[in-house]
Amino acid sequence: MSFLLQFSRLIDRLNTFVGRWVIWLVLASTLISAVNALVRKAFNYSSNAFLEVQWYLFAASFMLAAGYTLLNNEHVRIDVVVGRFSKRVQAWIDVFGFTVFLMPLCATVLYLGVPFFLQGWRSNEVSSNAGGLILWPVYALMPAGFFLLLLQGISELIKRLAFLAGLIDDPTKKAETKSAEEELAEAIRLAAEQKKA
């Protein structure tokens, strides 16, 4: 089991790395959107390529960060009933969900998505919009994102089984740390207090 836990930590590090870099795609998409709006208003010029690159970046941020989101236990859950159960029962529910729903879904999307991407790549398919971009990079996001999600599902399954075996603490317990917003608010409050003093 120690080898599996090491493998789980490796997957966690991979998805943490991807998740922390993918956040910048949201900023890039926002900046491109703002520049596109300014150019359209100021120079009466626009291109479908600007719109499509925003879609690509936004799609990439969601697809590639799915594993990171699962790692941080931030996917939408309905805990009205499950939250009342003990941590062991919740872990068994997660084991069932990962093995019966998550992993088969990811495997199915990979099975169907990889040939779809390869077909677009071989044909160098281009968007039907005037001035549109090539499509295979965005087609690659689906198998890449679901592969990262599948890996994280395996990691979470390993951690739940290790927890049930008594080898690790509760993997769903979050560290009591402040969010980025809370840290920023604290820094602003401290700066304001220093100015007063």
pLDDT in tens, the chain (197 residues): 789 999 999 999 999 999 999 989 989 999 988 988 898 888 888 777 888 888 899 899 999 999 999 998 887 777 777 878 899 999 999 999 999 999 999 999 999 999 999 998 899 888 877 777 888 889 999 999 999 999 999 999 999 999 999 888 888 887 666 766 677 788 888 888 888 87
8 Å CB contact between 155 and 71: yes
Distance CA 76, CA 69 (A): 10
The boundaries of the domain holding residue 51 are 2-196
8 Å CB contact between 117 and 140: yes
Q: For residue 6, what pLDDT is reported?
A: 94
Please tell me the total count of domains within the chain.
1
Q: For residue 152, what pLDDT is reported?
A: 96
- The amino acid occupying position 61 is S
